[in-house]
Amino acid sequence: MSGGVDSSTAAALLKENGYEVIGVTMQIWPSDDLAAEADRFGGCCSLEAVEEARRVAARLGIVHYVMNFKRVFEEKVISDFCREYARGRTPNPCIRCNQFIKFDALLMRAKALDADFIATGHYARIEFNPSAKRFFLKKGIDPRKDQSYVLYGMTQESLQHTLMPLGGYTKEEVRQTAHQWKLPVADKPESQEICFIPDDNYGRFVQRRIKEHAQPGPILDRKGRKLGEHRGILFYTVGQRRGLGISSPEPLYVVEIDREKNALMVGREKDIYADELLAGHVNYISEYPLEESTEVQARIRYNMEEALATVNPLPNGRVRVSFKKPQRAITPGQAVVFYQGDTVLGGGTILCVGDKGREVKRMKETKVGRVVTYFAHPEAAAIELEDHLKVGDTIHIKGHTTDFEQEVESMQIENETVQEAKKGDSIGVKVKERVRRNDVVYKLVEE
């Protein structure tokens, strides 16, 4: 119970349906400074919100507890949020909060209380399919409020022990129900900000925690020419137009954030469209990973509509998503979630965009013999062999800033070190020097 109308109404509906309900508010603020700021802005889980949750619990006649999740929230949500911004990515902390706090840590606490379920105020539905013997996660019926996007990390275990009473209601119906129960939060406005950044100033929050990553750097155009200087990459996101501080005859947008160069790449609006991405840390709701290319509707941001796409499974639990039409501002760090109709298949974290996410394989002839070329983006370094490779063979690393040959020291297949690999195996190759973005890996094979 966050002190808002949704969780409060969910509790009321459960009591109305005969459940024994225990109200729980999570205490997540890791420091007094954050807690004080949340109180000042009236944020989720602030002291004010806790008191409102208690008043609702009293009105419903249910027990109410405040549970301490400070440590796990700091580790799994806040620290990750800051690390991702420092890497030039734009994370969605609500997804990690759901995955690691609500449907993991809180679920374990609930079981310790001998509770059968945890219940939330999310606008989504959980259905059990007897023939498939699987739980399915589906969109809420209110398209304006559907929250299935931020729930793609749920598992069969968490779905089995979770209730979402609001999935079959519209927001207007929820407020009407809250008024019928005379809940003191029936007209409370919705909270739009990230709960631990109640003033909505992401850059300032991250800067205070990791000052070393808030260094100025160049703003470059698509040809590498310097146009100006930025305040620090953590203040920007892909697709951003305002606040760049540079003049141009036409609007410029952030196209890419290059952490290695501490640089912003900017371009025209057409440059922020792409039709392909690579995603990792993929979770499948059914717990059955895709084995072949699958047509889906994919969503790349919480408040965007789905777009037709094909999901292609790759080694190491990654997928390549190819869209029928280019999508605007695909952003590393955000989630891509796959749907078929109103059912969530799963989703993952966007690692890179465009052909940077494609493991390119092409053949060409050179005087030293046949060369197989692989793209080696640092987030897609696994390569699928088209020829035999063994420890001791030489690979050639070629990129914009580095060009060297390296003897293969070790290879891994699914984290198991191997001495050699055969055609079709997907391996990771260890090299002494770091493979940089846009580098290409050549494997030389004698004729």
User: Is residue 18, in this structure, part of any structural domain at all?
Assistant: yes
* Number of domains making up the chain: 4
- Residue 262 to residue 94: CA distance in whole angstroms: 27
44 is catalytic: no
Note whether 294 and 396 are same-domain residues. Answer: no
Instruction: Please report the pLDDT score of residue 343 as a whole number.
Output: 98
**pLDDT classification of 296: cutoffs 50, 70, 90:** very high
Among 50-64, 307-321, 354-368, 393-407, the least confident range: 354-368
The answer to whether residues 203 and 234 touch, using CB atoms and an 8 Å cutoff, is yes
By percentage, how much of the chain surpasses pLDDT 70?
76
Q: What is the CATH number of the domain that holds 284?
A: 2.40.30.10
Show the domain range for 344.
271-354
- Residue 311 to residue 136: CA distance in whole angstroms: 19
Q: What is the pLDDT of residues 259-278, one digit of tens each?
A: 888 999 999 999 999 999 99
Residue of 44, 45, 195, 352 marked active site: 195
Note whether 335 and 414 are same-domain residues. Answer: no
Note whether 325 and 393 are same-domain residues. Answer: no
**pLDDT classification of 169: cutoffs 50, 70, 90:** very high
Instruction: Please report the pLDDT score of residue 385 as a whole number.
Output: 54
pLDDT, mean over the chain: 83
Q: Comparing C-alpha atoms, which of 420, 365, 356 is closest to residue 388?
A: 420
45 is catalytic: no
Stretch 100-119: mean pLDDT, rounded? 95
User: What type of residue sits at position 134?
Assistant: R
Whether 397 shows a pLDDT value over 60: the answer reads: no
**What is the pTM (predicted TM-score) of this model?**
0.79
- Residue 29 to residue 36: CA distance in whole angstroms: 9
Q: Per this entry, what is the length of the chain?
A: 447
User: Is residue 202, in this structure, part of any structural domain at all?
Assistant: no
Domain boundary among 180, 207, 229: 180
Q: What is the pLDDT of residues 119-129, one digit of tens each?
A: 999 999 999 99
Residue of 44, 82, 97, 352 marked active site: 97
Q: Comparing C-alpha atoms, which of 250, 254, 242 is closest to residue 218?
A: 254
Note whether 263 and 277 are same-domain residues. Answer: no
> Which range has the top average pLDDT, 29-43, 125-139, 390-404?
125-139
Q: For residues 358, 361, 362 and 364, what is the CA-based torsion angle, rounded to 10 degrees? A: 130
Alpha-carbon distances, residue 207 vs 35, 210, 264 (angstroms): 18, 5, 17
**Backbone dihedral angles phi then psi of residue 386, each to the nearest 5 degrees:** -105, -5
- Residue 444 to residue 149: CA distance in whole angstroms: 44
Domain boundary among 247, 267, 287: 267
Q: What is the pLDDT of residues 199-235, one digit of tens each?
A: 788 888 998 888 877 899 999 998 899 999 999 998 9
Six-digit token pair at 229? 């200087």
User: Is residue 196, in this structure, part of any structural domain at all?
Assistant: no
- Residue 144 to residue 147: CA distance in whole angstroms: 9
